[in-house]
């Protein structure tokens, strides 16, 4: 028993004992003090952290929606999962657990909204209710549960693909995910990567892919495509590698560090047989800020089911430790970094890793497009001029350089490009980008 629960129980026992003895002495109705004590004790139990933990586990089990019959109790020694390195196994299981806990965690936030709402006066609550606020919260609850249905599909697909058993979950016995922030972030990337409806200018990656393909066409002739290897680190949900693989390059390697992003990307190629409703996500139901209407907040994205190109290989890997499986098969290599280099804890490690990867090749190219929005604790934060100096110092020669604020990717654009931005929101996030194509 934890300290919080022990103190709460002792204080309740002491308080109710005093109350019972006092009321028994003052009241002629001997049943009333007993009923009051039982009522107080009953209200104390839900406040125990051990009780909350138990309810959370039960909800997780209920909401996961995973048919226990599909998961063997113990894994096969030679299962796909058991053949993976420990860190990859841990990342995959952590991702699966986060997916299972999504609805539980977000319904806690929904319950908190309702508790805060009830703190207003009756008149204030009634006015907001007439405006449709409670109806909106009910709609959000429904859509959160629909998101969980989709996540259950991803979990089931992943468990089957890796031959995961219940015993494999022991690798993360102390796993905690109380917010589902990483799952929510990954869901928003479906609109960035896999929104196939380009009629309303929703496809954020369009200009980025155009820049990459334009630079590739200038350095890799069509005849050399089969002899060219492309590496895309920080590939997210994988749209850029997918589009490049369709262009006929010999090898395209998608490298992603996040288990959640990786499993979502795999699911796009799972050819899951499911109802369309289960392959639909609602990425904007996690906040009530900056919306014009419920219709904007409840928009959905239909997840495509595609054939994985045969020349596309996917890697759950830290780019700094990634090695090409067979670099001798191609004579050209192109490293494509899109919205990636500013994610580094140590940008110099990324640069060293790029230089190491290109060593075996006759012709090496590096195409970059993205902002310079460094994280909270980077070891170095370089501006565009400093990066240009470093490229020269490391042996790269720039063939093309752009600052989209001065030279947009396409004529008529304003040079600002969004990243996981809801274009129907009152808040918009846009970046000017730095881009280059360099040869070594």
pLDDT digit string, tens, across residues 160-186: 999 999 888 888 877 777 778 999 999
Residues 341, 352: Cα–Cα separation, whole Å: 12
Class at the top of the CATH hierarchy for domain 183-269+306-439:
alpha beta
Question: Pairing state of beta strands 332-338 and 363-370?
Answer: parallel
Structural domain boundaries in the chain:
3-47, 50-179, 183-269+306-439
Residues 314 and 213: beta-carbon distance below 8 Å: no
Q: What confidence score (pLDDT) does residue 4 get?
A: 53
Higher pLDDT, 182 or 376: 182
Q: Which has more pLDDT, 227 or 37?
A: 227
- Rank 16-20, 39-43, 194-198, 338-342 by mean pLDDT and report only the highest: 338-342
User: pLDDT digits over 296-318, tens only?
Assistant: 999 999 999 999 999 999 999 99
What are 10's two structure tokens? Answer: 């002792």
Instruction: Note the pTM of the prediction, 2 decimals.
Output: 0.82
What is the pLDDT, as a whole number, of residue 48? Answer: 61
Q: How far apart are CA 63 and CA 259, in angstroms?
A: 21
Cα–Cα distances (Å) from 14 to 18, 37, 70, in that order, read 6, 11, 50
- Residue-level pLDDT at 195: 84
pLDDT of residue 251: 97
Helices (H), 27-45: 31-44
Residue 59's pLDDT is 44
pLDDT over 80 (residue 75): no
- If one compares 10 and 327, the residue with the highest pLDDT of the two is 327
Q: What is the pLDDT of residue 353?
A: 97
Q: What is the pLDDT of residue 430?
A: 96
Residue 71 has pLDDT above 90, yes or no: no
**Cα end-to-end distance, the chain, whole Å:** 63
- Residue 145 and residue 159: Cα distance in Å, rounded? 21
Q: What is the pLDDT of residue 284?
A: 95
Q: What is the mean pLDDT of residues 381-403?
A: 97
The pLDDT score that the predictor gives to residue 68 is: 53
pLDDT digits (tens, 9 = 90+) for 135-155: 999 999 999 999 999 999 999
Model confidence at 57, in pLDDT bands (50, 70, 90)? very low
Average confidence (pLDDT) over 208-232: 97
Q: Residue 232 belongs to what H/E stretch? A: strand 228-233
Averaged pLDDT score across all residues of the chain: 88
Contacts of 238 (CB under 8 A, 6+ apart): 193, 254, 256, 265, 268, 314
Question: Among residues of the chain, what percentage have pLDDT more than 70?
Answer: 86
Per-residue pLDDT tens digits for 249-288: 999 999 999 999 999 999 999 987 665 567 899 999 999 9
Of 241, 233, 297, the C-alpha closest to 268 is 241
């Amino acid at each position: 028993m934890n300290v919080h629960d022990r103190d709460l129980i002792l204080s309740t026992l002491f308080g109710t004992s005093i109350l019972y003895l006092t009321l028994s002495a003052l009241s002629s109705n001997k049943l009333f003090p007993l009923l009051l004590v039982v009522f107080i004790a009953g209200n104390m139990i839900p406040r125990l952290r051990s009780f909350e933990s138990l309810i959370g586990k039960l909800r997780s089990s209920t909401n996961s929606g995973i048919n226990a019959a599909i998961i063997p109790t113990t894994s096969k020694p030679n299962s796909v999962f058991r053949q993976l390195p420990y860190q990859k196994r841990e990342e995959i299981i952590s991702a699966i657990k986060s997916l299972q806990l999504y609805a539980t965690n977000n319904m806690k936030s929904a319950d908190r909204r309702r508790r805060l709402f009830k703190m207003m006066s009756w008149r204030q609550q009634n006015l907001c209710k007439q405006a449709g606020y409670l109806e909106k919260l009910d709609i959000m609850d429904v859509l959160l549960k629909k998101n969980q249905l989709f996540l259950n599909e991803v979990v089931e697909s992943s468990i089957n693909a890796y031959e995961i058993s219940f015993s494999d979950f022991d690798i993360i016995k102390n796993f905690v995910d109380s917010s589902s922030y990483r799952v929510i972030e990954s869901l928003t990337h479906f609109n960035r990567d896999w929104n196939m409806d380009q009629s309303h200018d929703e496809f954020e990656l369009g200009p980025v892919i155009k820049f990459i393909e334009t630079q590739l066409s200038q350095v890799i002739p069509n005849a050399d495509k089969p002899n060219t290897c492309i590496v895309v680190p920080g590939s997210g949900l994988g749209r850029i590698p997918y589009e490049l693989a369709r262009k006929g390059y010999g090898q395209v390697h998608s490298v992603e560090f996040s288990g959640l992003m990786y499993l979502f990307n795999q699911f796009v190629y799972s050819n899951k047989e499911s109802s369309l409703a289960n392959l639909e996500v609602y990425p904007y139901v996690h906040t009530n800020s900056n919306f014009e209407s419920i219709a904007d907040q409840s928009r959905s994205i239909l997840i495509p089911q595609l054939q994985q190109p045969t020349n596309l290989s996917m890697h759950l890997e830290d780019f700094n430790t990634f090695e090409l499986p067979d670099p001798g098969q191609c004579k050209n290599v192109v490293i494509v970094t899109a919205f990636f280099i500013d994610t580094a804890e140590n940008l110099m490690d990324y640069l060293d890793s790029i230089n190491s990867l290109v060593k075996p090749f006759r012709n090496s190219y590096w195409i970059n497009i993205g902002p310079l929005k460094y994280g909270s604790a980077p070891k170095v934060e370089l501006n565009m001029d400093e990066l240009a100096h470093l490229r020269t110092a490391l042996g790269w020669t720039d063939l093309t350089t752009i600052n989209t604020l001065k030279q947009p990717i396409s004529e008529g654009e304003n040079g600002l490009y969004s990243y996981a931005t809801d274009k129907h929101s009152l808040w918009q996030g846009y970046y000017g980008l730095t881009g280059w194509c360099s040869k070594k």
